[in-house]
């Protein structure tokens, strides 16, 4: 009877020791540099309990023997370990190392940005016309050939009015119209610059060179507002727009 009681007490003490919580003190460092990893996440994955490390990478946590400790931080591999009293010293601070999980760059290339990159400039999207430019334009006034039986081809003449229905001919006409329009825009822009240009804008407003392009885009004057007008009339328009530009 005494032996049974002794065994029962020993088993009870063993289970009590296993279930007893102890305070684990630790510090999380970078495995490569040895520097502290601040604000890492420390949790017991088997209990869904956790906390965050301090700015010095330190933490204090109540754990039991057999718990699974998980330590993670952005840019590092997650560390998981089993709490074992024989491997951890609860009387002092334990050090836990996290391995970096980031790529090391061989070089860094710095590209200079535009002087006006910080300005409130609207984004200009490229206009896609979707026009197919044909390699060969079919002329329906000429003799056309079509496959005939197995002995070759036969030529036939088709009236020229079908040119208006030919897709490639129509596309070529559209392209030619755009070319004419482009030349017209160049001439019109040259005419506009006679009355509204950077030299006049700087003389009237004393505006900084970094924002003069944006201001001129903001003005957005119609051709009829400036072409053929006197310098005085254009100056009044510029001053009005400049006041709006400053308070926008």
- Last residue of one domain, picked from the residues 41, 76, 98: 98
In a domain, 190, yes or no: yes
pTM check: above 0.85:
no
- Last residue of one domain, picked from the residues 64, 98, 132: 98
State yes or no: pLDDT of 5 exceeds 80.
no
Mean pLDDT score across all residues of the chain: 76
In a domain, 161, yes or no: yes
- Tell me how crowded residue 26 is: count the other CB atoms within 10 A of its CB: 20
Percent of the chain scored above 70 by pLDDT? 64
Place of tokens 């129509």: 170
Nearest to 59 by CA among 97, 22, 27: 27
Identify the pLDDT of residue 174: 73
In a domain, 124, yes or no: no
Domain hosting 74: range is: 21-98
Quick: pLDDT tens for 29-74.
Answer: 999 999 999 989 999 988 878 888 998 999 998 888 888 999 999 8
Task: Report the CATH number that the domain containing residue 86 is assigned in CATH.
Answer: 2.60.40.1120
The answer on 89 and 155 residing in a single domain is: no
Query: Residue 140 region, left (φ>0) first, then alpha (ψ -120 to 50), else beta?
Result: alpha
Helix (H), strand (E) counts: the chain: 6, 9
State yes or no: pLDDT of 207 exceeds 50.
yes
Identify the pLDDT of residue 161: 54
In a domain, 119, yes or no: no
In a domain, 120, yes or no: no
Identify the pLDDT of residue 65: 87
State the total domains in the chain.
Answer: 2
Instruction: Please tell me the least confidently modeled range out of 86-90, 96-100, 193-197.
Output: 86-90
The answer on 149 and 92 residing in a single domain is: no
Q: Alpha carbon of 185 to those of 90, 106, 133, 195, 196: distances in Å?
A: 82, 49, 22, 16, 15
- Pairwise CA distance, residues 39 & 28, whole Å: 9
Place of tokens 């392209």: 175
Quick: pLDDT tens for 98-153.
Answer: 998 866 666 666 655 555 544 554 444 444 445 555 555 556 566 655 554 445 55
Task: Show Cβ contacts of residue 46 under 8 Å, excluding neighbours closer than 6 positions.
Answer: 67, 68
Nearest to 171 by CA among 128, 129, 141, 142: 129
Quick: pLDDT tens for 7-26.
Answer: 655 665 555 545 578 889 99
Q: Are 104 and 123 in contact (CB under 8 A)?
A: no
In a domain, 107, yes or no: no
- Pairwise CA distance, residues 130 & 65, whole Å: 71
């Amino acid at each position: 009877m005494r032996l049974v009681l002794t065994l029962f007490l020993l088993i009870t003490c063993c289970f009590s020791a296993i279930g007893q919580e102890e305070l684990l003190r630790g510090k999380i460092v970078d495995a490569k540099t040895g520097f502290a990893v601040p604000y890492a996440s420390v949790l017991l994955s088997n209990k869904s309990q956790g906390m965050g490390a301090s700015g010095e990478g330190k933490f204090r946590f109540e754990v039991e023997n057999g718990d699974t400790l998980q330590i993670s931080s952005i840019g590092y591999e997650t560390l998981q370990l089993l709490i074992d009293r024989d491997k951890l010293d609860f009387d002092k601070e334990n050090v836990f190392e996290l391995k970096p999980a980031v790529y090391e760059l061989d070089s860094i290339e710095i590209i200079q940005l535009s002087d006006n990159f910080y300005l409130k400039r609207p984004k200009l999207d490229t206009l896609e016309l979707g026009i197919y430019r044909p390699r060969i334009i079919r002329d329906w006034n000429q003799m056309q050939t079509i496959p005939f039986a197995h002995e070759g081809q036969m030529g036939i003449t088709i009236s020229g009015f079908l040119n208006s229905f030919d897709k490639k001919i129509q596309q070529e006409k559209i392209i030619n119209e755009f070319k004419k329009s482009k030349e017209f825009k160049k001439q019109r822009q040259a005419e506009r610059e006679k009355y509204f240009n950077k030299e006049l804008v700087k003389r009237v407003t004393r505006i900084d060179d970094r924002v003069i392009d944006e201001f001129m885009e903001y003005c957005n004057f119609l051709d009829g507002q400036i072409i053929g007008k006197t310098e005085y009339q254009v100056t009044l328009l510029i001053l009005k727009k400049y006041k709006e530009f400053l308070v926008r």
